[in-house]
Amino acid sequence: MKVYGIPNCNTVKKALDWFKNHQIEIDFHNFKKSGIELSKLEEWNQKIGWEALLNKRGTTWKMLDADYQKTIVSKDAAFKLMQDKPSVIKRPVVETETGSIILGFDEAQFANIFK
């Protein structure tokens, strides 16, 4: 299983702690250090759509110029932004061993999925 995120993000910390406390091994991909490949964004888009990946509630989005925000209306524009500023991607992104994608952290959801 692979978890994508930023280690200082509170939601990512909660997810990583949950996996650790439940003794579930994960491979962590740090967006800040390693960025995100376009091919990975395309893969996620096929499964959950680019709109779900774009975190419009976070600080990174809110700090963008309002006129620039209005230009993020397509997959290509969103992917360029996500590669330039990966902290705009909703996190964590969890790729399960079955190939499904989980966005964010919800303790009850994790408990149900990773029994």
Q: Which residues are catalytic?
A: 9
- Degrees to nearest 5, angle at CA 100 with 103 and 31: 45
Which residue, among 81, 95, 77, has the nearest Cα to 26 in the 3D structure?
95
- 8: Cα within 13 Å, side-chain hemisphere: 3
DSSP 111: H
Token digits of residue 76:
């290509």
**How many C-beta atoms surround the C-beta of residue 76 within 10 A?**
11
